[in-house]
A and B are shown apart, each in its own frame.
Chain A
Amino acid sequence: MSECWRRIWVDSTDNIILKVEHVTVGYSKIDILHNVELMLRRGEIVSIIGPNGAGKSTLLKTIFGLLKPRIGCVYLDGRDITGERPERLVRRGISYVPQVENVFPSLTIQENLEMGAFTRTDDFSGRMEEIYGLFPVLGKRRHQRVAFLSGGQRQMVAMGRALMLDPQVLLLDEPSAGLAPKFVSMIFERIIDINRTGVSLILVEQNAREALNMANRGYVLATGRNVLDGEAKALLANKEVGRLYLGG
């Protein structure tokens, strides 16, 4: 890891907030990601698309310190965060919503949000009201246990929890997975709302066309390698991408 902290990466012109450099990572002996690169500019939405098993979720887990890269570095806001533990990363302004088991089911909505603010020692009731403003349905049911909520509402709780620390960067792993169609578009609208409040987002999605529609830029991963990246519009227009990943 020491190769990273010495080379503090500075980039003021491009406004880059998060950067992944030539990351290779795996479980035990098998590498899942090979030499993967990614960057996120301030205020952007970046979508990562690609087939199942491409390593999209693994990339998010690596950024969030749940997996340590064998080779490569991750920088947040110019500082090396490679392999740094999640409980420290959240204080640095980065939050993560896993794809599954992303809520505390036996806790109420309000308690889930409080847990998102665990590291805060100041009064966070204002932030909580902002989140209820973003997801009004949660505000109405704030003292209900999350176990009784629908899939779409759970996803909102999960995103609300991750937003409690007012992160600069939010990592979302397949927020639309398993949701009814009317919730899918609703969740995507909320993601755009979150982005408008100044949060930069990395979004992993199966729903590739939708994900690129709302993103500034996109990355295509396959078998753990960068295949293509560029402006989201360009990727949507790309025939190869369309045929392979957008369903014709």
Chain B
Amino acid sequence: MLELIVYGIVLGSIISLGAIGLSLVYGILQFANFAHGDLMTAGAYVALFLITGPFAWLGISDKTFGPFSFGWRMVIAFPLSMLAVAGLSILLDRLLYQKLRKRGSSRVILAMSALGASFIIRMGVLIIWGADSLFYRSGLLRPALELPAGIKIRPDQILILIIVAVLVILLHLFLQKTKMGKAMRATADNMELARISGIDIERVIMWTWGIGGGLASAAGILYGIDVQLHPGMGWNFLLPLFAASILGGIGNLYGALVGGLIMGVVQQVSTAFLLPTYKPAVAFIIMILLLLIRPQGLFGGKTR
């Protein structure tokens, strides 16, 4: 049981990264981004492309670091993929959502267009890489460490927790200390007043998509390192992402962080009683219960 909780925290930390981005975009644009899960997929495959394509060609060493399942190639590919998906999500906004917003389209139309974008990303990945599951490094033995209390954990998983923690702290510092971060919080509070104050809203929106996309990419890669890559991986995450954001009070980033961890743990622990294939059902049931009992989330939504 303890072991399932630890695995749940690893899975939950990945869900958290995605949920924070989803919540950030929702907080500022009131926009339910159904393509957010597929941005995770895009990130994972961009990293795969870099590692197996250009980096192999450039002759960057393929050796793994000590007990970990990756080496220099991944270290370089990780930030580059974050940048690439940040760019992709800004591009989607410019080509698609921004135009619809300016026309005054309803939230439903925007959500549906995001759903369409999610299909395009997913099918693109499917066409290029095929439907099979892939690994960043195949044929690698991945031994687990034995922690006290008999918990087995792979070194990769410990690192995943550390990377998520670092990213969350960086995001926190960005939002609290920088001018753009503060402007993002201000815009989430009251976009009209932000405009009246002279804040450049379009730049705020660009940063929002960039950060959301970058975090989604990181989440996708980390899941790829922990488990595997699959064209449907991000789509399957969409339900837990929304459940985690709603759990934390949508628009509340720290809530999304906790919501993600809770979703991860609950899903993993459920496998002790149910078949693992029911994991999405567990996420769905939590979301429905929450919407019925406490729609503002455990920690309340945005302060109004």
Contact = CB atoms under 8 A, between A and B. Distances in A.
A153 B179 CA distance: 24
Interface string B178-192: 010011011011101
Interface string B245-276: 00000000000000000000000000000000
A223 B192 CA distance: 26
Contact of B196 (A64, A112, A145): A64
For the residues of B in contact with A, the DSSP-based class is helix
A98 interface: yes
B304 A105 contact: yes
Interface stretch (A71-79, A86-94, A204-212): A86-94
Contacts of A118: 179, 183, 197-200
B194 A115 contact: yes
B193 interface: yes
Contact of A90 (B183, B190, B197): B197
A102, A103, A115, A116: residue with the most chain B Cβ atoms closer than 10 Å: A115
Nearest to A116: B197
A116 B198 CA distance: 7
A202 B199 CA distance: 23
A111 B186 contact: yes
Given A104-B189, A105-B304, A115 B196 contact: no
B302 interface: yes
B190 A104 contact: yes
B303 interface: yes
Given A104-B190, A147-B303, A86 B196 contact: yes
B99 interface: no
A106 B189 contact: yes
Contacts of B179: 114, 118
Given A115-B183, A115-B186, A105 B196 contact: no
Contacts of A19: none
B195 interface: yes
Contacts of B193: 98, 101-104
B196 A98 contact: yes
Contacts of A165: 198
A213 interface: no
A107 interface: yes
A115 B185 CA distance: 10
Q: How large is the interface on B (under 10, 10 to 19, 20 to 34, 35 or more residues)?
A: 20 to 34
A14 B126 CA distance: 72
A185 interface: no
Contacts of A107: 182, 185-186, 189
Contacts of B189: 104-107
A219 interface: no
Contacts of B201: 87
Contacts of B192: 98, 101
Contacts of B302: 106
Contact of B199 (A66, A87, A111, A145): A87
B303 A111 contact: no
A35 interface: no
A119 interface: yes
A102 B200 CA distance: 18
A154 interface: no
B195 to A, nearest CB: 5
Contacts of A64: 196
A167 to B, nearest CB: 11
Contacts of A111: 182, 185-186
A36 B188 CA distance: 35
A161 B193 CA distance: 10
Contacts of A102: 193
Contacts of A105: 189, 303-304
Given A107-B182, A118-B179, 20 more contacts: A64-B196, A86-B196, A87-B198, A87-B199, A87-B200, A90-B196, A90-B197, A98-B193, A105-B303, A105-B304, A106-B302, A107-B185, A111-B185, A114-B182, A116-B197, A118-B183, A118-B198, A118-B200, A119-B198, A165-B198
18 contacts: A86-B196, A86-B198, A87-B199, A87-B200, A98-B193, A98-B196, A104-B193, A105-B304, A106-B185, A107-B182, A107-B185, A114-B179, A115-B182, A116-B197, A118-B199, A118-B200, A145-B303, A161-B197
The 8 closest A-B pairs by CB, nearest first: A90-B198, A104-B189, A119-B198, A106-B303, A104-B186, A115-B186, A118-B199, A147-B303
